[in-house]
Amino acid sequence: MSSNEMRVAVEEAGFQLNNQLSQIIVARYSDMENLVLDFDNFVSCLIRLEAIFKMFYALPKDGDGFIELGLNQWLTLVMG
């Protein structure tokens, strides 16, 4: 799928992403020559997004929508 199709599919899956994050996802999961995502990479992307969103909502917040992470929590999140 093209990067535009990916954005629509991600939104239909329930994720609202800004342009910067969409560009990061395309850079990480697509074929860099033509910016096309194959099915396997798209599924991997959705699984990763779901895990990250679940982790975010499970972390303690102080009511303003921001979380505070220690180094080990951050490393676990980005390396997982």
Predicted local distance difference test score (pLDDT) of residue 21 = 85
Distance in angstroms (rounded) separating the CA atoms of residues 45 and 5: 14
pTM recorded for the entire structure:
0.74
Predicted local distance difference test score (pLDDT) of residue 40 = 94
pLDDT in tens, 13-54: 998 888 888 888 888 888 878 889 999 999 999 998 898 888
Helical (H) or strand (E) element with 66: none
